[in-house]
Amino acid sequence: MVNIVVVSHSLLLAQGVAQLAEQMIQGGCRLAIAAGVDDEAHPIGTDAVKVMEAIASVDDPAGVLVLMDLGSALLSAETALELLDRDMAQRVRLCAAPLVEGTLAAVVAASAGGDLPRVTTEALGALAAKARQLGEPADQPAAGPATPVMPADGQSVSWKVLNPNGLHVRPAAQLAGVLAPFKADLLLQKEGRGVDPRSLNQLATLQVRQGDTIRLLASGPEAQQALDAFSTLARRGFGEHVDARAGMVLGGIPVPPGGIRAPVLKLRPARYHARSETISRAQVTGQQQRLRSAMAATRGDLRRLAHRAGDAMGPDQAAIFSAHALLIEDEDLLRAFDQRIARQLAGAEAAVQHELLAMAGEYLAMEDPYLRARELDIRDILNRVLGHLGAGPVAPLSIGDGDGVLLVAEELMPSEMIGLERQKVKGICLSEGNIWSHSAILARAQGIPMVVGVSGCMQATRTGQMAALDMTTGSLTVDKPAGGKKAGLDEA
């Protein structure tokens, strides 16, 4: 993991910056300070030896980023590099970012697993948010990958998005898949910001909503074919049924308001978690191969789930799992797994868990509630990959042969909804969950009533107990045991 060194003329200033930064590290990167000089009468200054020692104390194969306050701090840092071992010095980058904002941005990026160029870019761009808030022009970062610029002879086409939920995971997956084969340089823009439209992960960060105008720029030998394919897909609603006047028309089975009554079946589906472990360098290739094999097995699972969903519910539901399969084929993501194993000496389980949970966190931070709910999809994928790395494939939910039960659980993943039968499952009650999740969408498509956010339902029920789920009020009423009272629980 990239670590950080703060160089300042003032020990108190450096300690204050470190105190701010440490609130954001929380077990992530390490931070060292090199500040002031050992002169009680004149303590303000910098010492190259102190800087050298600070760098050595947090040296890491991933690199060290050094941030400085004033001119002579830069001179001391440059001298420290000359004093260091040559191999160590090559892993160090001096950064011109502002000390306070740059350090905070750097520790967040480093703790999230960013490599040295990414951490540097985040530090250099740390003033952008402040500049935007004050209405001042923001300087572009001086390092790191820039947004691709199409050549002057590039072509483009624009489209106003009609999909009520914008380019969420399914239409985004359609777009990425359609554009993938073309030999062309492509850039999708919204409000001047551009991403690679063949990356599902990058498309998500663009947060395209209904009413947004997007523009695809293309250059290269198959640029026109890519633009034509984009236009055709856009006119078809990016794979969804979209009416230009009324928005998207979704097919489904109407479920009348009211209630259901059935015996409870409590479920605790398998959830896998990786332990943090350090491997040797000799194990790196083997761990990378293990993870690639588990990812391939997971993609096979997702394709089978897509077929089952398509047969049972239709193409829109099948597209959920096709999108999941496309997401984990992303080369940037696979490269991040390999790099974490090689650079951090993390085992396959720890590497995939770190990267996918970081991705889930990015979805949770989005403004759009529909996109935020996609974090459950990422955790669903992670659970399957961890299963293939250890305990084996994730087994389907076991309902039994009863006449109809009320499933009670903390949370159900989208993949766990496939195979549920309306005649066997009268309703679902979750203590957690999200109304925008693909689990909820799949429940509606199967005509299975679902209520989410019923806090305490797991503690208040037991398998075999009769309970009533009121779909009008979102409440669960549990029959009293002999000699007791009924327990009522409401949707959160």
- CA 68, CA 61: separation in Å to the nearest integer? 22
Determine whether 168 is an active site residue: yes
Annotated catalytic residue, options 324, 354, 388, 438 = 438
Only one residue has tokens 């720890």, namely: 350
Annotated catalytic residue, options 9, 324, 354, 388 = 9
- CA 435, CA 445: separation in Å to the nearest integer? 13
Annotated catalytic residue, options 42, 168, 241, 388 = 168
Neighbours of 5 (CB within 10 A): 30
- CA 288, CA 385: separation in Å to the nearest integer? 13
The DSSP bridge pattern shows strands 213-219 and 185-190 to be antiparallel
Residue 474 burial class via C-beta count within 10 angstroms: exposed 0-12, middle 13-18, buried 19 and up: middle
Half-sphere exposure of 388 (CA within 13 A, CB side): 21
Determine whether 9 is an active site residue: yes
Determine whether 354 is an active site residue: no
* Beta carbons of 37 and 45 less than 8 angstroms apart: yes
Only one residue has tokens 């691709």, namely: 148
Closest CA to 238 of 308, 167, 187: 167
- Edge-to-edge strands, sheet with 155-160: 155-160, 213-219, 185-190, 193-195
The set of catalytic residues is: 9, 168, 438
